[in-house]
Amino acid sequence: MRIFSIAITALALAASTAFASPASPKDGADYQTLKSPQSSQTVGKKIEVIEFFMYHCPACNELEPALQEWVKKQGDNIVFRRIHVPHTGPADPEAHLFLTLQAMKNEDALHDKIERTWHVEHQRLLTDADNINWAAKNGLDKAKFTEVYNSFAVTTQLRNLARVVAGYQVDSTPTLVVDGRYLTNPAMVDEANPGTPRPTLYKATLQVVDALIAKAKAAH
């Protein structure tokens, strides 16, 4: 009886992933629907897409070229933004750097430089002093950067960041959330489509996002 039960369970698991594919993603396999949808920043018919990431995350760095190309192709189809996961808690230096550059309207312009600092130059920005020195070396006014870095607005955002991330049920990076409702990431797509080569995996993940955008538009 136990062997029969195990066999039935195995068949059920196989059935749950049999039709999972990036082109026709399956809820609970290639993506999941959030139990508590979050409000999204949409403009007209644009659908919000959020990347939850961390500067030091190798997979985030590997995803970046495909992601940037994909965002450019989307044009007016989406509103794209990033949220840095506070890896070390409410005073996380990486997230602090991100929020400061975002407040100064420099995050997009300097994103690639920060990734290069971490993953090509292997220079770790682990403290507030590291961040301030990095900003000064990369053309930002040190006094202005420090002022924004220590501002009430930025430090409040930093303290609240963990609550924001928890609301989206994000537990790994990189993770992409569509319309505040649908969550996917390379780990989910890999598990649902075993054997996908790593370079192809990131494009497959974005293919899932394409399908979720279409799903969100239909729901709107």
Q: Please state, in angstroms and as integers, the Cα–Cα distance from residue 24 to each residue in 15, 34, 216, following that order.
A: 15, 19, 14
Look at residues 200, 192, 197, 219 and name the one whose alpha carbon lies nearest to residue 24: 192
Q: What is the 3 state secondary structure string of 121-163?
A: CCCCCCCHHHHHHHHHHCCCCHHHHHHHHCCHHHHHHHHHHHH
- The pLDDT, as a whole number, for residue 114 is 98
Query: Which amino acid, 105?
Result: K
Q: Residue 9's pLDDT is what?
A: 38
85 φψ region: left (φ > 0), alpha (ψ -120 to 50), beta (else)? beta
pLDDT of residue 41: 84
| Residues whose CB falls within 8 Å of the CB of residue 81, separated by 6 or more in sequence, listed in order | 41, 48, 49, 50, 51
In contact, 85 and 170? CB cutoff 8 Å: yes
Domain of 108: which CATH number? 3.40.30.10
8 A C-beta contact, residue 115 and residue 61: yes
Write out the residue range of the structural domain in which residue 167 sits.
2-219
Domain count, the chain: 1
Give the pLDDT confidence score for residue 8 in this predicted structure: 34
From first to last of its 220 residues, what are the pLDDT tens digits of the chain? 443 333 333 434 444 444 557 989 999 999 999 999 999 987 788 999 999 999 999 999 999 999 999 999 999 999 999 999 999 999 999 999 999 999 999 999 999 999 999 999 999 999 999 999 999 999 999 999 999 999 999 999 999 999 999 999 999 999 999 999 999 999 999 999 999 998 899 999 999 999 999 999 998 8
Question: What is the value of pTM for the model shown?
Answer: 0.89
pLDDT of residue 145: 98
Give pLDDT, residue 6: 35
At 12, which amino acid appears? Answer: A
Tell me, what's the pLDDT at 45? 87
Amino acid identity at 132: I
